Structure 1
Amino acid sequence: MTWSFKIGTFGGTEVRIHVTFLLLLLWIWFVHYRMGGTPAAWEGVIFILAVFLCVVLHEFGHVLAARRYGIHTPDITLLPIGGLARLERMPEQPGQEFVIAIAGPLVNVVIAGILFAALGYSVGFDQLAEIENPHVNFFVRLAGVNVFLVLFNLIPAFPMDGGRVLRAVLAVWLPWSRATQIAATIGQGLAFVFGFLGLLYNPLLIFIAIFVYLAAAAEAQNAQLRDVASSVLVGDVMITSFASLQRSSNIDEAVEAMLATTQREFPVVDQDGKFDGLLTRDAMIRALREGGPATPVASVMLKHIPVSHPRKSLQHSLRLMQEAGAPAVAIVDDAGRLVGLMTHENLGEMMMVRAARPEGFRFGRLRRETRGAGAGR
């Protein structure tokens, strides 16, 4: 995720902090400082850090459950609204998704249980509700936060765990895409409820409503893509008209190609047309700023880009892209020569075409018409 930085790696999973999380810490420090001076300010910051430690443990519950099914989690990103664990691929069975989704809230149940036991089970509901009151015992407030995290994450709306639990349950009887659509619709309905309550009580609920609505829409689109990908070849939807760069090219030539096209990614090929790497627009601009126009593209291109074949399924190529966290997949022929690209942008365009296409339209027809425009140079 952009605007985040790594703070460590645990069990092969990076833990990253988004810059907005630091802004939250500054805000907490300032608010508590006004309430009780420097000691209160630092106590407020320490409490928030303890809360996010619980959030990290929650996310590692997902990580360990996913690992049980052979699914790696490249990173966890801490945001002001919680944590986000990025799975390299989606679970293949509803039961697997259920276990992975419920594992996070169960971690908070365990943490709350330990805190309740340490406090002698003498905590009342009125105390647990005062998690924002700095005069309430630190560990009582922390126990209250973990109870809140369980309840909040079990709301049946994406991207909360409850949305994934709901989809997993529905997918036992319904196709995956249909279960996702129903869960997403319920989530978007709840987003409108959050937004309405935000107008009446707490403006923060409005931001949560927007986040939930967009996440539900994205999840529905991903499910539609997954449904289509199982029956389409990557050769039917790949980009075949694109500009490419030679391994001997420099950044100045790359900039000229960028200005002459609408591409964000430029494949780099050798003299035989075999794929060698991928130069992204961001890497191009960074190299231009730091090394100048004479910088060789070979020194800044991405080398570990997944490669697929036109006769492979789109599902296979999509999985390669997700597992590598790559911006594109290079499509090569039997001789290893580059014949196409698959990018996030052209996948989005494919889904728009699918939504608008007339009955009987086939993706292969679109590919042949596009190829007539000419291949890369």
Structure 2
Amino acid sequence: MFKNAVQLFEIFGFKLKVDPSWLLIAALIVWSLSTSYFPPALPGETATFYTALGIIAMLGMFISLILHELSHSLVARSYGLKVGGITLFIFGGVAELEEEPHDPKSEFLIAIAGPLMSLFLAALFYGAATLAAPQTGSSYAGAVFGYLALINLVLAVFNMIPAFPLDGGRVLRALIWGVTQDLLRATRISSRIGTVFGLFLMLTGALAVFSGGGIGGFWQILIGFFILNASNGSYQNLLVKAALRGKTAKQLMSETLHTIDAEATIAELVDDVMLRHGVSFVPVLSGETLIGYADTSGVRRFEREEWGGRPVRDILVPAEAENTVAADTPLNEVFKFMMKSSRRKLMVVEGRRLVGVISLSDLMHHMALEQEIGTRLKA
């Protein structure tokens, strides 16, 4: 999801990463605080001083977001779920759970942990601001703590809106899941609420922009767009997992194989296999052993006049972990691998023996058929 994120450090075994988009929101926070928040709260100081306070407050928010997401991650790990890491990006932070919670209780506790941490931090910073305010020379600390108390309260309240994939939407999903015992139905309902909320934010943001609301309305549109896409994407991802659950590569692979020997010529590859059978991806064998594959991009490396005198071995792409998958690999893992590597076809193997080929189109067709059958059965 965040291919350009940079890892900063590890905390409790979780990789903390920052997406470059976070720099934009960090800069906006510092600018907003130094021009609109601190000058009225602490009049008479220099612009440089306000900027310094803005940076300190922004770092405090940075830490608050980490603690919020860390709470999700620690609870998820206590339930045996894998967490890929914590990433901060333009819309806040996300704990990257690699799998869905196993039951409504774990979903509820994982979801509620973040807002509870933010409420705790809000109370902590409010208490610090209260203690700092009466003391001479401590009003600067009071202003920073006051901002951090407010922003953590806003973070907790906003995240508890029952719109998936916000924490409140996940709490709602856990409650519906607990009542219906149907994760797919619970996700569909909470995702639809998330979609409506995202559209509401975009609409009211647009009205604010046209009414002179400026950057606030524009920001609201962006948040609404993010929630709209995330809610729809989360439901679609769950549909994918449901359609592929319990199946392996061997069950969906194509066993109709068009292969060629490594010592055959490129001309034979093109004329006897590619053009005859309408395939552009051809596994290459040496006897009964798979050694790689050849495709049209390899063929184009040589002029047509050379095809008859060059063996397929000259354009061979060796079989390795990046282009093969074991026959017993779960389809969920195959799909995830294809999405990450951008590969559209993989050779299915048992040891060094080729047993089939599986493509992204095979997976997509299977998922579409599963959803169509499921929809008709429910109707």
Distance, in Å, in 1 between the alignment partners of 2:347 and 2:77 is 30
Worse overlay, 146-155 or 40-49: 40-49
Given the alignment of the two structures, is residue 208 of structure 1 paired with residue 209 of structure 2, yes or no? no
Q: CA deviation at 1:207?
A: 1.0
Specify whether residues 190 and 332 from structure 1 end up closer, same or farther in structure 2 by C-alpha distance, changes over 3 A only.
Answer: same
Counterpart of 1:193, as a letter, is F
Distance, in Å, in 1 between the alignment partners of 2:283 and 2:114 is 40
User: Of the two structures, which has the highest relative contact order with CA contacts closer than 8 Å and spacing of 6 or more?
Assistant: 1
Larger Rg: 2
Distance, in Å, in 2 between the alignment partners of 1:4 and 1:271 is 45
Distance, in Å, in 2 between the alignment partners of 1:244 and 1:4 is 40
TM-score by length of 2: 0.68
Counterpart of 1:212, as a letter, is I
Q: Name which of 140, 147, 154 aligns with 2:160.
A: 154
The answer for unaligned runs of 5 or more in structure 1 is: 124-133, 248-259, 282-293, 362-377
Q: 1:351 aligns to what? A: 367
Aligned residues of 1:275 and 1:330 also touching (Cα < 8 A): no
Aligned residues of 2:162 and 2:193 also touching (Cα < 8 A): yes
Q: CA deviation at 1:102?
A: 0.9
Report SS of the residue matched to 2:58: helix
Aligned residues of 1:187 and 1:212 also touching (Cα < 8 A): yes
After superposition, the C-alpha distances for 1:153-182 in whole angstroms (9 at most, x for unaligned) are 111122211111111110112211111111
Specify whether residues 332 and 237 from structure 1 end up closer, same or farther in structure 2 by C-alpha distance, changes over 3 A only.
Answer: closer
Report SS of the residue matched to 1:14: strand
Counterpart of 2:56, as a letter, is I
Distance, in Å, in 2 between the alignment partners of 1:9 and 1:267 is 42
Distance, in Å, in 1 between the alignment partners of 2:62 and 2:143 is 18
Counterpart of 2:226, as a letter, is F
Q: 1:6 aligns to what? A: 7
Counterpart of 1:196, as a letter, is L
Distance, in Å, in 1 between the alignment partners of 2:29 and 2:165 is 25
Identity of aligned residues (%): 27
Aligned residues of 2:129 and 2:143 also touching (Cα < 8 A): no
Specify whether residues 200 and 118 from structure 1 end up closer, same or farther in structure 2 by C-alpha distance, changes over 3 A only.
Answer: same
Aligned residues of 1:12 and 1:74 also touching (Cα < 8 A): no
Given the alignment of the two structures, is residue 70 of structure 1 paired with residue 77 of structure 2, yes or no? no
Report SS of the residue matched to 2:179: coil
Q: Name which of 40, 57, 63 aligns with 1:53.
A: 63
Specify whether residues 148 and 33 from structure 1 end up closer, same or farther in structure 2 by C-alpha distance, changes over 3 A only.
Answer: closer
Q: CA deviation at 1:192?
A: 1.7
Q: 1:217 aligns to what? A: 232
Given the alignment of the two structures, is residue 309 of structure 1 paired with residue 327 of structure 2, yes or no? yes
Given the alignment of the two structures, is residue 138 of structure 1 paired with residue 156 of structure 2, yes or no? no
Distance, in Å, in 2 between the alignment partners of 1:118 and 1:135 is 8
Counterpart of 1:151, as a letter, is V
Distance, in Å, in 2 between the alignment partners of 1:203 and 1:5 is 27
Q: CA deviation at 1:304?
A: 7.8
Distance, in Å, in 1 between the alignment partners of 2:165 and 2:280 is 32
After superposition, the C-alpha distances for 1:314-345 in whole angstroms (9 at most, x for unaligned) are xx431576699954796745445344566777
Counterpart of 2:327, as a letter, is H
Q: How many residues align?
A: 318
Report SS of the residue matched to 2:3: coil
Q: 1:191 aligns to what? A: 198
Matches within 5 A, 1:330-349: 332-340=348-356, 347-349=363-365
Given the alignment of the two structures, is residue 318 of structure 1 paired with residue 316 of structure 2, yes or no? no
Counterpart of 1:176, as a letter, is L
Q: CA deviation at 1:4?
A: 1.3
Specify whether residues 358 and 172 from structure 1 end up closer, same or farther in structure 2 by C-alpha distance, changes over 3 A only.
Answer: closer
Matches within 5 A, 1:1-377: 1-30=2-31, 37-120=47-130, 137-174=143-180, 175-201=182-208, 202-230=217-245, 232-238=247-253, 273=289, 303=321, 307-309=325-327, 316-318=330-332, 327=341, 332-340=348-356, 347-355=363-371
Report SS of the residue matched to 1:7: strand
Report SS of the residue matched to 2:178: coil
Q: 1:366 aligns to what? A: none
Distance, in Å, in 2 between the alignment partners of 1:187 and 1:21 is 23
Report SS of the residue matched to 2:10: strand
The answer for unaligned runs of 5 or more in structure 2 is: 37-45, 134-139, 209-216, 263-277, 298-313
Specify whether residues 42 and 214 from structure 1 end up closer, same or farther in structure 2 by C-alpha distance, changes over 3 A only.
Answer: same
Aligned residues of 2:325 and 2:349 also touching (Cα < 8 A): no
Distance, in Å, in 1 between the alignment partners of 2:323 and 2:106 is 29
